[in-house]
Structure formats: structure tokens, C-alpha cells
Amino acid sequence: MPGPIRTVLATALVLAAAVGAAAAQTYPNRPIRLVVSFPPGGAVDVLARTIGQPLGERLGQTVVVDNRPGSNGNLAAEIAARSRPDGYTLFLGSDSLFGVNPHIYSKMPVDPMKDFVPVASLISNVLILAANPAVVPPNDLPGFIEFARRTPLFYASIGNGSMHHLAMELLKQRAKVDLTHVPYKGGGPAGIAVMSGENAVMFGGGSVLPLIKSGRLKALAVSSKNRSPALPDLPTIATFYPGYEVAIWQGLFAPVGTPQAIVEKLRIEVNAVLAMPDVGKRLVATGAGEPAIMPFEEFSAMIRRENEHLGQLIRSIGLKVE
């Protein structure tokens, strides 16, 4: 590359960095929109509102939660990715969008691996296998599996291709049992469907925890490698099917092109919010998950690793959503 061209490019980079730094000094000066993939009532919505208020207080502006359910997160992702990359539209993205959707949809409205910049990891969570007591008499996982082998059952999920959906399909594979899938738009509607008896069982997070504690649903097992702090007496599925493990995560993202100085400012403030004891306690108590603060490089590597691992998993079970 000739010397004059290198000089022009270097000057442009310096100017861009200076513009970004100046923008970060005045950012934010108006409300921030946080686009969420699921409707009110579920664990993701609880997470958004739990971090949104203190984040807004720290930034001096209101964080407005914008619920846009549909297409397993693709709809919300498209809205956020097409927004101006100025830090005023952020996206609460999940493992499903980054690790699952690119492998199950023949056409994606966005490329999540290229169209978003990771801001911060937010939470990690387990999934709880929850059943309607009136529909499923057994009170443990082995009893449920035997019952399901004798009885045609329907199960709910928060959407086609969600981790909740995949968790059940993996359990079906491992336990050699068949259940019919009924997808819903979010944890709230899915939980209501199981509670009403329209479906027998589901994997859920924060949306099912209050229903379990009230006795309207009963918990059979958790999907993670370790037990849940919210339900410490509940066994893991791996206790009965060694090697079974499904965990979920949520992160904060910005449209690609957002000034790096703004991204870094947001990362600092979000991590400070997650470190607040009251925030952590509320997230765990509601079943939204445990705060997961990790370095940017580690979070980015995890996203790439999950994309590859889940892609292999999805191909092995032949899952496709048109």
C-alpha cells in the first residue's frame, strides 16, 4: 500500500476514534430503547426490566423496554440490527438467536454473528422441566418418562427452535419417548397453556418458577449440569441420563457500527448493575438467571463456540424451521 494512502487511512481512523470518544462523552442525552425478543411475563422480560431501571439511573436516561416477540427472536433482531448504530437502540439477545436460528432457518433477516456487537453477557440460567399435576400424576422424572411412554402427551415451548424446544427434543432422544410439540410466543403464554392443561409439560425458566412455588405446576428436574440455586432439592436430568446438559444465556448487544467508546461505556455500566446485590437476588428469585459477568473476549468466544456446538447438535436431530 503506497505511503500516501496509508497516511489517509490512519488519519481517518484517528478521526473516527475521536468522533466516537466525543459521542461517548455526551451519551446518552435521550431515552434508550431495549428491544426484547419475548412478550411481557417471561424470564427474558423480567431480566430486561430488572437491569433496565438501574441501568437507566446510572446513565441518567430512561431505558424503555420494547417487547417484539416472533420468529424465535428474528423479528426483534431485525428491528434492532436495522436501527441507527448510535447506542440508543440496544438488543437483549439470547443463545437461540446466535446459536440456533442460523442453523434452523433457511432464510434469516439478519446475520447475528455479523450484524451485532457484543456489549456484555447478562445471565446464565437453567431450564426446569415442569408438568401440570392434574395431567401428569408421577412426581419424578423416571415416573414421568414411563407415563409418557404409555400416554400421548403434548409439550409447550417458548417457540420453534428455542433452547426450551431443543431441551425437550434432546430428552426425547435420550429417554426414547415421544411427545408432540406445541410452540408459543414466549414463556408466559407457554406456562399458561401447561397450567390450564392444554399441554402436559414444558421446559421453562422464570416464567414457571412462580407457578411451581404456588403448586399450579410441579417441577420434575433441571436441564443443567448442576442443580439450580432457586430449587436446590430438584435433581438434574443428568442424574438419570448422564451427559445431558442444556443451559441458556442472555446478553446485551448493539448494532454493528456503534462507536466503540459507547459500547465500552455501556459494558462498564451494565457490569456495575449486575454486580448490585439487589439485582442479583431479584434475578435468582424470579428464575430469570444468575448474573454472568465475563470479559468481552470470553463472551465473544462463548458465542462462537455455542454457534458451532449447537449447529452440530441441530444437524444430528434434523431440526429445520421454515
Give the predicted TM-score (pTM) of the model: 0.77
pLDDT tier at 274 (50, 70, 90 boundaries)? Answer: very high
* Structural domains for the chain: 31-124+247-317 (3.40.190.150), 128-239 (3.40.190.10)
pLDDT at 9: 47
Note the pLDDT of residue 271.
Answer: 98
Task: Quote the mean pLDDT of the chain.
Answer: 90
For the ranges 6-20, 30-44, 270-284, 288-302, which has the lowest average pLDDT?
Answer: 6-20
Q: In the predicted model, is pLDDT for residue 200 greater than 80?
A: yes
pLDDT tens per residue, range 87-116: 999 999 999 899 999 999 989 999 999 999
- Reported as a pLDDT band with limits 50, 70 and 90, residue 198 is very high
Q: Cell match 436446590: residue?
A: 232
Are 269 and 140 contacting, i.e. CB atoms less than 8 angstroms apart?
no
Instruction: Report pLDDT digits (tens) over 138-160.
Output: 999 999 999 999 999 999 998 88
Strand ranges inside the chain, DSSP E: 32-36, 63-67, 89-94, 116-126, 128-131, 154-157, 180-183, 201-204, 218-222, 247-255, 290-291
User: What pLDDT is recorded for position 22?
Assistant: 65
131-153 burial code (b ≥16 CB/10 A, e <16): bbeebbeeeebeebbebbeeeeb
pLDDT of residue 143: 98
Percent helix, percent strand, percent coil in the chain, to nearest 5: 50, 20, 30
**What is the band of 322 on the pLDDT scale with cuts at 50, 70, 90?**
low
Confidence class for position 15, pLDDT limits 50, 70, 90:
very low
- pLDDT of 245 over the 50 cut: yes
